[in-house]
Amino acid sequence: MMGSGWAPAAGTFGEAASSVAIGDLAGFSAPTALGHGGQIRSVRVGERKVLLFLGRTHLYEGRGVEPVVHGVRTAPTAGVRTVVLTNAAGGCVPTTGWDRSSSSPTTWT
C-alpha cells in the first residue's frame, strides 16, 4: 500500500498487467488524501505477482475504521500473503524541515 508521494515509484515495479480505480471496487472508496494515486495495479516482479495499492482511506477522512482496513483485509482473497504499508508521517509537509532528498522514513508492517 503506497501512500502520499509514492505513486510515481509504482512505475519502477514494471508495466501493469491490469489496473483499476480504487473507487470502482466494491467496498473501497476513492482516496482523498493529496498524493494518493487512486488505483490498484497488478504487476509481475520476477516470478511474483504484486498488487500495488496507490492510495488508501485514512481514519481522519471520517469514514470509520472498516474502510481504513478494507484493503488489508481484502487483499488475501486475491492471493496476497505479505503486506507492506508505507507511511510518510509528515515527510511530505515542507515546513517539517526534513530533507526529502535523503532516505524516506518508512514504517514496514
Does pTM surpass 0.75? no
> How many structural domains are present in the chain?
1
Q: Is 47 exposed, middle or buried (0-12, 13-18, 19+ CB in 10 A)?
A: exposed
> Would you say residue 102 lies in a domain?
no
Cα(33)–Cα(35) distance, rounded to whole angstroms? 6
> Would you say residue 51 lies in a domain?
yes
95, three cell numbers = 515546513
> Would you say residue 101 lies in a domain?
no
> What is the pLDDT, as a whole number, of residue 7?
72
Q: What is the pLDDT of residues 9-21, one digit of tens each?
A: 888 888 899 999 9
> Would you say residue 45 lies in a domain?
yes
96, three cell numbers = 517539517
> Would you say residue 109 lies in a domain?
no
> Domain range for residue 71?
7-96
Q: Which residue has the higher pLDDT, 22 or 3?
A: 22
- The residues with which 16 forms a beta bridge, in sequence order, are 43
Q: What is the pLDDT of residues 36-47, one digit of tens each?
A: 678 899 999 999
Above 60 in pLDDT, residue 73?
A: yes
